[in-house]
Structure 1
Amino acid sequence: MKIETRLTRLLGIDLPICQAGMSWASSNAALPLAVSRAGGLGVLAAGPMYIEALEQAIDDIRAGTDRPFAVNLPLYNKRADQMMDLLEARRVPILVCSQGGTQKYLDRFKAIGTTCLHVVASEEHAVKAMRAGVDGLVVVGGEAGGHPPPTQVSTLVLLRAVARAIGGEIPIIASGGFADGRGLLAALSLGADGASFGTRFIATPEAGVADSYKQAVLSAGVADTDCVGRDVGMIRAIRNDFTRSMTALEGGGADIEVRRDIFARSTLKMAALDGDMALGKVEAGQSAGLVTAIKPASDVVREIAREYAEALMTLPAIA
């Protein structure tokens, strides 16, 4: 099956289904490779990776498919400059950058033909990135896991606002709240050219996180995540002892340094690799409540596409 949009034409993929770059979960070749093979866009999450591991993962993806793939690079990362040198030398086809300005990378990667996508969470940043010359945007709404916008504006509203602000100049990938084909259909109807699926791909055998993390996603309802860490690096995560502690401190007006210390003691690695579901940061979006089974990533891609087609056929025709 193919679903053609501006995004699929830009990236050379069959389906406007993008797997989000998720630290640890897609910091390996297996998950992005499976998604790209299935016709979507697999994204390798460089954030927690050492340079040697990143290089090996890129080689493994290229050995496994000739389909396009992307690397997600958080620009605040202390190894970002080294990573950019490697990604430039390896001429990665698609680069997704977040948490930093376009001036850090855009010119050098455009010069070698890399397609550059930039992650934004407001109309202001979207317009700024578009004018700088990025090829496309990933627009993250409040439902997203990991690092949603501090404003908490929902994807439903933010996506429309960004689409209007940029006037259709470049493709948009909607992110936050998407887990199935109906979500993809909604994203396209709201003005996006594709959708990014993060939490859904955690519940796959290829995701590089502990089984307890995957089970936590399956067990969560749509109201079982909390946003914590305001002013110190807000995240959305599945509710546990850590999020309850942060919520109590924030609600009680605790000093920012106290909150910063508690926030820093918990890490995503504790949950993702060590399986600590009580004190780790079990980052996930509200769409966890829509995930009901662990399935191979390729099956997830095909299922989303099939659900999209089925949902499209149920829409009422114009009388």
Structure 2
Amino acid sequence: MTRIETPVTRLLGTDLPIVQAGMSWASSCSALPLAVSNAGGLGVVAAGPMRLPDLSRVLAEMAAGTDQPWAVNLPLYRAGADEVIDLVLRHRPPVLIASQGGPRRYLARFHDAGTRCLHVVAGVEHARKAADAGVDALVVVGAEAGGHPPPAMVTTSVLVRAVARAVPSVPLIASGGIADGAGLAAMLALGAGAAQFGTRFLASAESSVHNAYKQAVVDAGVDATRTVGHGLGVIRVLDNNFTARMLGLEAAGAEEALRRKTFQASTLRDAALHGDVVEGKLEAGQSAGLVDEVLPAAEIVAKIVREYRAARAGLPPIT
């Protein structure tokens, strides 16, 4: 097995510094995370939209399907989060990736169970607080990311470097705008110990989203995403009818009630499960413009490694 050793791979026990993002619906299953973990990366189950019986089944499938490290992603704002935490603890996942809440809520219980705890942050101050709380590593999300980018819209390259300088003792995973091995090399050079790939694995054979959603990602250019929902919970999505309506309302200064009604009328579920790429919320990052085809997840991992090697070999030597 090929190995690229970093502080993150040493912490998590993976062969490669490649993390598949926990994406609602896309990795709310075992197929994609298992494929990534068995290929040497860290596969991540997205617990956010899952019913408890489904989550319990998928976690059991993960434990049975690999002897490699894997993770559960849990947004702490979801309904019944405490009940979800109890369920996840019973399955003792090797790694937990938590977001949208404070780490003190869960940290001691998961550490007692032997789980490595990673926390998602979108700014230097949050990174310092999470580090002080005792998390094992940080996932640093920049503005290019799909789904929920940071409110301040600081790019991944700047934010990763800033967090690396602010908390140099904590391993970092960079996330946002990374789709290939060159991006991985760049993030390692900035001080991260791994890169998280979301949109790239969204367009994988094992991803659970509708094929029309995957094709929309493949067809997108780097300028095909927009941020909408300002004041409501900003998301980065691909252009479609929903996006155009929201942009029009925001540009016109429409009242919050109308913007909220329009925002809530479309869902990620409609796009992911039913293939509504016209009216649904097509969450995707700017890296969609770097994704040219749908591939099996293991092949994506291998391709990233080849590209990483090529990127390193292409750097000019010091003379």
- Give TM class, smaller chain: over 0.9
Count of residue correspondences: 318
Letter in 2 for 1:127: R
2:135 aligns with 134
Structure 1: distance between partners of 2:105 and 2:266: 29
1:76 aligns with 77
Q: CA deviation at 1:81?
A: 1.1
1:208 aligns with 208
Structure 1: distance between partners of 2:300 and 2:223: 23
Q: CA deviation at 1:205?
A: 1.1
Structure 1: distance between partners of 2:121 and 2:60: 29
Identity rate of aligned residues, in percent? Answer: 59
- Report SS of the residue matched to 1:273: helix
Q: Is the 8 A contact 1:150 1:230 kept in 2?
A: no
Q: Is residue 13 of structure 2 the alignment partner of residue 37 of structure 1?
A: no
Q: CA deviation at 1:267?
A: 0.7
2:151 aligns with 150
Structure 1's consecutive aligned runs of 4 or more residues displaced over 6 angstroms after TM superposition are none
Structure 2: distance between partners of 1:156 and 1:12: 25
Q: Is residue 47 of structure 2 the alignment partner of residue 46 of structure 1?
A: yes
1:22 aligns with 23
1:282 aligns with 282
1:191 aligns with 191
Structure 2: distance between partners of 1:175 and 1:27: 19
TM-score normalised to structure 1 length: 0.99
Q: Is the 8 A contact 1:178 1:195 kept in 2?
A: yes
1:271 aligns with 271
CA RMSD, aligned part only?
0.7
Q: CA deviation at 1:79?
A: 2.4
Q: Is the 8 A contact 2:60 2:91 kept in 1?
A: no
Letter in 1 for 2:59: I
Q: Is the 8 A contact 1:225 1:286 kept in 2?
A: yes
- Structure 2, gaps ≥5 residues long: none
Structure 2: distance between partners of 1:79 and 1:60: 23
Structure 2: distance between partners of 1:107 and 1:61: 23
1:57 aligns with 58
Structure 2: distance between partners of 1:159 and 1:245: 33
Letter in 2 for 1:75: L
Structure 1: distance between partners of 2:311 and 2:293: 20
- Structure 1, gaps ≥5 residues long: none
Q: CA deviation at 1:113?
A: 1.4
Structure 2: distance between partners of 1:105 and 1:261: 33
Structure 2: distance between partners of 1:257 and 1:180: 40
TM-score normalised to structure 2 length: 0.99
Q: CA deviation at 1:59?
A: 1.0
2:119 aligns with 118
Letter in 1 for 2:260: R
Structure 1: distance between partners of 2:247 and 2:299: 37
